[in-house]
Amino acid sequence: MLKDALNNILREITLFDNILGSPKHRPEIKDCGEPRPETEAYTKILKETVHSRSSLLVDLTILWGTEKCYLEAWQFAKDSHNRQSSPENKSTHDAQDIQDADSKSLLLNTLISNWTCSDFVDFVKHIENLTNELANSSEYASDWQNCRDIWTKVLSVEKGFWPAAA
């Protein structure tokens, strides 16, 4: 699982480098300057929680929670796109539709497909299985409250990352 996690990080760095290096997508990418508050909140959670004294169960809870939320958010985006693209929702194309085509292509063909592919689904499931295995071990019985607290923090931060959907 750790090997897969490291390979995923390297693959994602390459993915973002390719997106940022593409003149086609450069106009879509804005200079963010300072980190968003959600990014700073995640950094704070990680600094406070993941350290040499934290348990493997707590660390896996954070990893699983972030990856699970990411997977579900991108699956929702994929499902929403599929519903909007269904024949009954097709309308005549206006200038904005044509202008948005490149953004939709990046979103659909690159980002959504990256985080909804079967390999990523399997990776998230693998983390979940390992987390559950440790959670059922008597060695980690005292970590339950820490895991609940971390889970609540992860959900709170994740909520801010994703746009509200109607």
Q: Is residue 21 part of a domain?
A: no
Give per-residue pLDDT as tens, 83-122: 877 656 555 455 445 445 555 666 677 888 888 999 999 9
What is the distance between the terminal CA atoms of the chain, rounded to a whole angstrom? 35
Phi-psi region of 71 (alpha: psi -120 to 50; beta: other; left: phi over 0): alpha
Q: Best-predicted range by mean pLDDT among 31-35, 40-44, 93-97, 146-150?
A: 146-150
Does some domain include residue 30?
no
Q: Could you give the CA distance from residue 106 to residue 37 in angstroms, rounded to a whole number?
A: 25
Is residue 13 one of the residues assigned to a domain? no
Residue 4 located in a structural domain:
no
C-alpha distance from residue 15 to each of 31, 109, 127 (Å): 18, 12, 22
Answer yes or no: is 16 within a domain. Answer: no
